[in-house]
Amino acid sequence: MFSNKSSHKKLYHIGTRVTIEDFNHQPNNPLISLNIYGQEPFKIATIEQGSDDIIWGKCQQLPRWPQQEITTEQQLLSTRLQVMFNKYPDLDKLHHQQEFDNLSWLCQRWLEILPLPTQEKQTLLNHPDCLHACDYLMSKIYTQH
């Protein structure tokens, strides 16, 4: 994750190794559309920038959040995500394997799509399980309505 605010450029230390599954480039358009698949989380241990302005670093793999069944109260995260997937079919198509009964999977999907400040996402992702993220997301749901 990278913050590109002119007053505060920052490369964050937690990320996800991905595989590029497909890409699309339209003529006369400088942008490339990528379909990626997240493999595993990592934490950047060291960062260097070469004379060619390419940034590279050494990473250590982080453990995945363990699967966790949702409780009745947490069902709201599942229900609302299913509504979101139904409303936006392109979002639904991104996830080959959907685990609406797995709290870890639900929290990760919400963190992907919500426009949260990067620092907040980084803090939540830095925990060994999804419980902090779940509490945070549930508080957002309840304070919004």
Residue 54: CATH number of its domain? 2.30.130.40
5 has pLDDT over 80: no
pLDDT computed for residue 1 by the predictor: 59
If asked whether residues 76 and 145 sit together in one domain, one would say yes
Which structural domain range is residue 20 located in?
Answer: 1-62
If asked whether residues 75 and 122 sit together in one domain, one would say yes
Of 38, 62, 86, the position where a domain reaches its end is 62
Return contacts of 104-107, CB within 8 angstroms, 24+ apart: 104/64, 104/65, 104/66, 104/67, 104/68, 104/129, 104/130, 105/67, 106/70, 106/74, 106/77, 106/78, 106/81, 107/65, 107/77, 107/133, 107/134, 107/137
If asked whether residues 69 and 57 sit together in one domain, one would say no
Mean pLDDT of the chain: 88
The pTM of the full predicted model, rounded to 2 decimals, is 0.79
If asked whether residues 82 and 143 sit together in one domain, one would say yes
Convert the pLDDT of each residue in 47-78 to its tens digit.
888 889 898 889 999 999 999 999 999 999 99
